[in-house]
Structure 1
Amino acid sequence: MSANPFLDPALVHGDLYCTDDRLAERTRALRQAKIAGRNAAQVVIDLLAQRTSPGAVMLDIGCGRGTTTLRIAAGLRPRRLIAVDASSALLDTVQTRLAQADEVGSTVCADFHHLPLPDAMADAAVAAFCLYHSTTPAAVVAEIARCLRPGGVAVLVTKSLDSYAELDQLVQAANLDPDAASRPSLYESFHSDNLVNIAATHLTVLDVLHEQHVFEFADATHLARYLATTPKYRIPPAGGPADLAAILRERLPVPPYPTRSTVSYALTARS
């Protein structure tokens, strides 16, 4: 088992994404805590809109629950939209969300190291918050580049190594995981500091943005909802988020509990 759960294939293809529930709850908890920072999916759309036109063929690689997929469909009106993920459960959610929004797109269940797509078939691609699941993210970038037509663009998105570091300190202070502050960042393989170098292995980097997002967990219950769904820590099993909240309430200072994350975007192109 890898020391980093985001790089452990057994977890990535098992507990982390075998259903929609865990990712959905983590996303909800973060969204409710957010007090500053642009919507990441909208930033992606704004970057793509500079370089694409309606009627393009677009890929959403590592699409997760389809938040960016929906924005692409509604905001850019592609002729063809393909959402790719290794989790069939998450792709079921994508299809449901597209149908509910009356948007059209197809899904492909695949490992992003080996995309089952033709060469030079896409005008644009997105890989948002997914490449840190690979020990060789440059190999994924190579696959994305292969699928782009010459002149096609891709937006790659990740986070900084120190994202949510304040939560490490809280978890350690509460003695839930004494090693929380020394555990590797979930984003260690693909992060804000190596984004450009990895992107440039197979694509031309046109623009880079780094934006700070600020979060504030309102109380112990809110924080517990997030901690119960993040795989970073080794928190002993409890009765659920309610029991975890009770421990946090007893051991931590009074809320709120702030934290920060840097979100980084690389707008790139195939030569």
Structure 2
Amino acid sequence: MTASTNPFLDATVREGLYRDASRLSARTSALHRAKTRGRPVAEVIADLASAHLLAPQPSLVIDIGCGRGTSSRVLTERLRPRRLIGIDASAAMLDDARARLGVTGDAASFVQADFHHLPVPSGTCTVAVAAFCLYHASRPEAVITEIARTLAPGGIAILVTKSADSYRDLDVLVANAGLDPDAPHRESLYAAAHSANLAGLTEPVLPIEHLEHEEHGFTFADLSHVAEYLATSPKYHLPAELHGAPAAIAVALRARLSDAPVSTTSIVTYLLARKPGGAR
């Protein structure tokens, strides 16, 4: 990976990141244990869907970039759709989602597909969710157009992303430790679709009904905890012997920094847009 390559936009690197569920699981675990404020994202998505649905039971919900199935599970439990389809490019993520949800029958299914070409007929979807995945597209507006194609009249799309400067304090920490001096100046992993540009990407495609930004706070207990997260991030250009090695990263951090709690923030942005038409 060169210094100018955004790993979230490099197909080869991205495929490696999601070849199995271990990296995402470790990243999520480290963040959840550090989290000090901010609502659970999947619950907020379900709340928004419930508040904006035109009918009490959606006929079809699609969860795009469903990953390990966290939002799919909550959407299934909260919305009780007639059918839910979880869609992801990674076969390994889909296997993990199936195992976690224990889904059987036709009510819920998981399908491997590219979000530029969703395996859903036009005009059939009641709710389409795309959380923390649009920044994997070099042209996210094309993905939003594809999402709009699937929506039934009156159907809603819920798009979720992060601010471009999310976890910036960790960039500074890595630089101060001498592990990656350029980290604070490197392009954000979320550069393609972030809190500041999501509305601009969506407005030409779908009318926006709701937009909100919520700050999430995180305090890592010590440098070992920080290292667990850093080992999962493709942003940093760490020495080869530190790649994916949280214990070695922790030792390297302690050689230069005081072992104390480390705090950082991220803005999570929720956008809800509706396909024109449908009985109000």
**Same fold at TM > 0.5:** yes
Equivalent residue number for residue 170 of structure 2? 167
2:24 counterpart residue number: 23
What does residue 270 of structure 2 align with? 265
Give the match for residue 241 of structure 1.
246
CA contact (8 A) 1:70 1:103 kept: no
Deviations 1:181-236 (A, max 9, x none): 11100110100111111111211100101000000110111111100011000011
The one-character-per-residue Cα deviations of 1:22-54 (angstroms, maximum 9, x if unpaired) are 011001100110001111111100000012222
Given that 1:134 and 1:189 are in contact with CA atoms closer than 8 Å, whether structure 2 keeps it comes out as yes
Aligned to 2:156: 153
Residue 105 of structure 1: how far off its partner (Å): 1.3
Distance 1:103 1:37 in 2: 34
Structure 2 counterpart of 1:254, from 248, 256, 259? 259
Unaligned runs of 5+ in 1: none
| Alignment correspondent of 2:14 | 12
Q: Give the letter for the 2:33 counterpart.
A: Q
Written as runs of structure 1 = structure 2, the 5 A alignment for 1:121-270 is 121-238=124-241, 240-270=245-275
Residue deviations 1:66-114 (CA, integer Å, cap 9, x gap)? 1111110111111000000000000001111110899951011111011
Which AA in structure 2 matches 1:216?
T
Mapped to 2, the partners of 1:237 and 1:225 lie a distance apart of 16
1:38 corresponding residue in structure 2 = 39
1:83·1:107 contact (CA, 8 Å) conserved in 2?
yes
Worse-matched range after superposition: 164-173 or 92-101: 92-101
In the alignment, which of 3, 6, 15 is matched to residue 5 of structure 2? 3
Name stretches of at least 5 consecutive residues in structure 2 with no aligned partner: none
Task: Give the alignment's TM-score, normalised by structure 1.
Answer: 0.96
| Aligned partner of 2:71 among 68, 72, 77 | 68
Q: Distance in 2 between matches of 1:90 and 1:217?
A: 26
Does the CA-based 8 Å contact 2:49-2:127 persist in structure 1? yes
- C-alpha distance in 1, partners of 2:33/2:105? 26
The farther-off stretch of 233-242 and 251-260 is 233-242
Q: Percent identity of the aligned residues?
A: 50
- Take 1:236 and 1:141, find their aligned partners in 2: how far apart are those partners? 37
**Contact 2:83–2:106 at 8 Å: present in 1 too?**
no
Q: Is the 8 A contact 1:153 1:270 kept in 2?
A: yes
Secondary structure in 2 matching 1:48: helix
Q: 1:188 to 1:254 in 2, by over 3 A?
A: same
For the residue of structure 1 that corresponds to 2:270, the secondary structure is strand
TM-score (norm 2): 0.93
Quickly say closer, same or farther: Cα 1:249–1:215, change in 2 above 3 A: same
Give 1:184's aligned amino acid. E
Aligned residue type for 2:255: E
Deviation at 1:251? 1.2
- Provide the residue aligned with 1:81 in structure 2: 84
Q: 1:238, CA displacement in angstroms?
A: 2.5
Aligned residues: CA RMSD: 1.6
Aligned length: 270
Q: What is the DSSP-based 3-state SS (H/G/I as helix, E as strand, rest coil) of the residue aligned with 2:240?
A: coil
- Partner of 2:159, secondary structure, is strand
Residue 211 of structure 2 aligns to a residue in which SS?
A: strand
Q: Do the aligned partners of residues 103 and 30 (structure 1) sit closer, same or farther apart at CA in structure 2, a change above 3 Å counting?
A: farther
Contact 2:103 2:109 in 1 (8 A): no
